[in-house]
Amino acid sequence: GPKVLQIPSHQIIDMGQMVTLNCDPVSNHLYFYWYKQILGQQMEFLVNFYNGKVMEKSKLFKDQFSVERPDGSYFTLKIQPTALEDSAVYFCASSLGDWGYEQYFGPGTRLTVL
């Protein structure tokens, strides 16, 4: 089936540094998402993105977070500066449409902030 790729699979950084998580969505998909899962906890929605704009973001999507997809390349999640509580697995997803469409998930990037 369609595949979403995420790079890197694991990232370790020091608190206060900037990190960029990369997502290569399914090629013809138009809607992109980030979800966050802290170890042992529930998966939670962060943000969705369409046509170059953030459509919706949750309370977890702090001011230090930003997303973009310049020129149809990677869909990225940038955190600047990082905090200890940002340690989690971040999953990217994409879908062809919004409501009622299946979302395809990547394998996740495990972010460890020291």
Smallest gap, in angstroms, from Cβ of residue 53 to other proteins? Answer: 13
- For 44, 80, 84, 86, 98, the CA distances from 16, given in Å and listed in that order, are 23, 7, 9, 11, 34
Nearer residue to other proteins within complex by CB, 69 or 110: 110
Nearer residue to other proteins within complex by CB, 45 or 81: 45
**Buried/exposed code over 36-61 (b: 16+ C-beta within 10 A; e: otherwise):** beeeeeeeeebbbbbeeeeeebeebb
In this chain, which of 35, 65, 74, 90 binds other proteins, going by CB under 8 A?
35
In this chain, which of 51, 52, 63, 99 binds other proteins, going by CB under 8 A?
99
Smallest gap, in angstroms, from Cβ of residue 99 to other proteins? Answer: 4
